Structure 1
Amino acid sequence: MLVYRYNLSLWILAVLTRYLQLWDVACSESIPPAPLLTLTSSVETAVQCKLVMVCRAPEGHGGTLFRLNRVKELVANVTFQTERQQAHFTLQMKDPSAQNDLYCCLYQNGQGKYSHYSPYLNLDRQVSPQFPPSPLLSVEPPSGQVRHGQMLSFHCTSPPSQHNLKPEAFLLLRTAKSTGGSMVHAQASLVSRSSAPTGAFSLGPVREAEGGSYTCLYQVTVAQQGLVNSTVSCPVLITVTEVLPAPTLSLDNQKGEWVLTCSGSPSYPGARFYLYRSGSANPEATRVAPLTRHRALFALSSLPPQESGVLEGYQCQYSVLLGTEWSHSERTQTLNVPGVTEQIPFSSSSSTEQTGFDWPLVLGVLSALVLFLTAVAIMGVTMWRKVKAVLQEKRKREVSQLWAKRQQSDHVVDLTLKRISITSQDWGMEERTEEMSRRSHSTFGRTPFY
């Protein structure tokens, strides 16, 4: 009996142990596996330090939410609409000592289950041959603002290598324009590859879609690792603007006051105009034209005073908001203005304001009036001739109708025949009547005339 109870207890213990093992396996299988956190690139300069890390889930797994922690503190998180296998995190390091901290990540799948934490990643500030130092990227023009159709020149320069590594190739990368408010690193696309030792790139004629952030890196061959990419350079922002026609700048006198008139293209009314002194990068004055005009006036009295007898050069420029980007025109040629504006001879426009007569305008009005009167006279004569011809035609028709009626009335003959019955007595009577008629005619024929 005791042996039976002992065997029963061993069997229950074995069953319970197996059940706990299966439960542990089932629980572990319900938790997604841990991801892997790696450092893809780092930019370390005197101005900024930027790190780009990737949290990648194992094959066959993905997440809609990725979290990046520094030790136990949440640093950033990224959400997606559908499950993704990896997420990029870009960190701006303000404190260089923070790079020695430990970082880890995890993800949440579509069922709402969190994975295990990834192994900690220790960021060492010292650069190793695995990640060669970042190069320096420069662009011409230095401002990064280029008009549509112009050329861009990039120069990617590698720093001196402590490991005697010679760059074998340079890569120029471009990322989309930043939308702001996101720590996700935008996927860069390869623009050009150069095997020249200087790392020179020429891009163009550029289009509006080619604007954005440009970076570069170089490739070196490291022993036991092969071809290795360096960390990316600091980004350079390129802005592509539309081509605006150059404005014109003139000096005019309006109502006794000297003004500088900057006229832009009539196709862009309501533009923003800037007035510069020659050689100055900052505008002296800014004007916004009305929505119905394409020019702006700058009164010389509102500008800083000039020295007497000294020529001062001015230039103007205008900008137009096309979509979401401001497009700028070129500056005008320098217009020299004397320090004492009273010594400037009046132009035709100012002389007209003094005399009160604008002879070109008067002659134009008189010419228009003469042409108008001539046109009215020609139209009157033409209409009078047409009316006269119509009246004559009407009169001819009336006369012809009248003669037609007269002719019809003169030729009407009544040919109605009446039946007459004559007897023998009437026949004799008729003969006697004719005889008497002849006698009477003969008698009157011999009567003398007085």
Structure 2
Amino acid sequence: MLCTFILLFCFSADLFDFGLADPPGSPPAPVLIQDQNRGSSLVLRCQTPQGHKGRLFKLYKTQELVDTVQLDAEQTQAEFQLQDGTMEQETYYCCQYDNSMISPYTTVRAPPPGPIRPLTPPQLLVTPSDGRAIPGQMMHFHCQVPPTSLVQNPLTFVLRRRPWGAHIDQEVGRSSSPHFKVGPVSQKEGGTYTCLYQRTMSERIQNSDSSSAVAVNIAAHLPPPQLSHDGEGMLVCTGSPSYPGAHFSLYRQGADDPSARRHAPMVKHSAQFNVSEVHRQVGGGYQCQYSVLLGHEWAHSERSAAITLPCPTGSSFCSVPPTGYIPPSKGDRVDLALIIGSVSAALLFMLVVVIVGIAVHKHVKAAAVKRRQREQDTLWQQVHSRDHIVDLTLQRINFSPSDNFAEGNGRISVSEPIYDCPFSTFTSPFYK
């Protein structure tokens, strides 16, 4: 009791020294009441005595004016709201209305910390948008905070990466800016990326949930392999020494599907193919390729340069290409439609030439026949124009003296011709 009296005496002296002492004739002092908590804030209510009202209410923290409430009409009370960031563990407050006396001090205790609301996870954006990059390229990340997240405290953004095949995230960068730049990238930058942001509170750091993962794939540059023939019936495909244990495939030149596959041991970067297992064709080339599993995706090299396998004499596994087969050039495939079209055009052209030849032959033959006929007609016309026909018809004369002289007229009688057909003479014979 004695301590309380001494404390109130000291506060009254302090109020008088700082100009907060009650002036003479002032309205009676109000009462400051600590109201219930509202979320993360505390409400103090300044209530006037019975029969008194006010329009201007003031709140003091010890001797410091911290808040005022101006009302449109006189009221019996006013509320002051203290935010979580402005409250201390134990503080003394008092209030006043208009020019009234100062209320007794009220000890205000901060509410116990309640459960912290989780922060909305951000969204991670990457450029290029598909997450695919080539070695040496720069990649940009943006950790975007949702606009519905009301965060007033300073933020710290964290970018993390989980390499392919790993189970632990690695921190890539930490900054007050949501923008991150990674690069020039190489194969080790591949994996899944996430981000989060941190809010700094009075004595704690609150982390948001991680964003959705974004996959980043760095395209591998696999050198092309080399295909060789050891002369003993084996084809050797040699890849890059940087990728041992690769998967090798043997292709016939121009084919989409491999003729054979081999998996190299983990300590080797080459594979062998037995040519007796491959259906060989005279004039055909072969190529090889190797593939490597990088993370969760396969990377494929380019195909090697094509080589042609010699066909041993009397070999049973060499096939002779059909007539008219044209081996494809390097890197090209046989265009079957083009070959069929060319053959059809050639056959059609030959058919047209044969038909035209037959027609011309018939026309020339008919013209020759007509010409010989005209020559014969002309010749016989010339022969007939030189002929002279003379009628030498002979008459048979009857010499019957008894009959003729008996009549006494002395005439000779003529009988039928001796010959039935006339004779013709030629003035100029045809053959001399």
More helix by share: 1
Query: With structure 2 as the length reference, what TM-score do the two structures score?
Result: 0.29
Larger Rg: 2
More relative contact order in 1 or in 2 (CA 8 Å, sep 6+)? 1
Query: With structure 1 as the length reference, what TM-score do the two structures score?
Result: 0.28
